Amino acid sequence: MEIRRFTEPDAEAVSAVVCETVRISNAKDYPQEYVEVLVSQHSPENITERAKQGHMFVACDGERIVGTGTVAPFWGSETERILLTIFVLPEYQGKGIGRSIIETLEQDEYGKRAHRIEIPASLTGVHFYRHLGYDYKDGVTGPENGVMYRLEKRKPVTV
């Protein structure tokens, strides 16, 4: 399994990974209408735009893209980051790929400089992130609008 930086020709494959994962994994926790909203927000064009906001990575099994994740500045901050678009294809889940993606994002130059990393976590992903050391932001343990938890990790700055 290789994790490498996204390039623009990957956009279609990344979109397909996200949409399949949303329709199979997230559909267990969200109503069908919301699933389709999420799918519509992850077209290849949207993925290309998202990649411009930060550093997007892809996890590959040979040539095949099977997972993705992005680390981006949090509202332009130099020391706060946000992790976005974290997805692993259902058939590849439970094999350590999600953990490798998060570690890659945390060790990326953006992640390393951060003293606070925020994650808008799905109902599906919240316990995964909690397991990796992310805590509820401001002690709020419930999801915003019933759909998304706000999690964060604070850490010493590495130079």
Ligand X SMILES: CC(C)(COP(=O)(O)OP(=O)(O)OC[C@H]1O[C@@H](n2cnc3c(N)ncnc32)[C@H](O)[C@@H]1OP(=O)(O)O)[C@@H](O)C(=O)NCCC(=O)NCCS
Residue 14 CB, nearest approach to ligand X (Å) = 13
Nearer residue to ligand X within complex by CB, 31 or 96? 96
**Cβ 96 vs Cβ 130: under 8 Å:** no
The least CB distance from residue 159 to ligand X, in Å, is: 28
Dist. CA 91–CA 94, nearest whole Å: 9
> How many other C-beta atoms lie within 10 A of the C-beta of residue 158?
11
Q: Which residue number is nearest to ligand X in terms of Cβ?
A: 98
Supply the minimum distance, in Å, between the C-beta of residue 156 and ligand X.
23
- Given the complex with ligand X, which of 5 and 131 has the nearer CB atom? 131
Q: Which is nearer to ligand X, 35 or 114 (CB)?
A: 35
Binding footprint of ligand X on the chain (CB under 6 A) = 21, 25-26, 86-88, 93-99, 121-122, 124-125, 127-128, 131
Segment holding 12, helix H or strand E: helix 11-24
Question: Which DSSP string do the residues of 21-86 spell out, in sequence order?
Answer: HHHHTGGGTS-HHHHHHHHHTT-HHHHHHHHHHSEEEEEEETTEEEEEEEEEESTT-SSEEEEEEE
If the CB atoms of residues 28 and 52 are measured against ligand X, the closer one turns out to be 28
User: How far apart are alpha carbons 59 and 91 in whole angstroms?
Assistant: 13
- The least distance separating ligand X from the CB of residue 137, rounded to whole angstroms, comes to 14
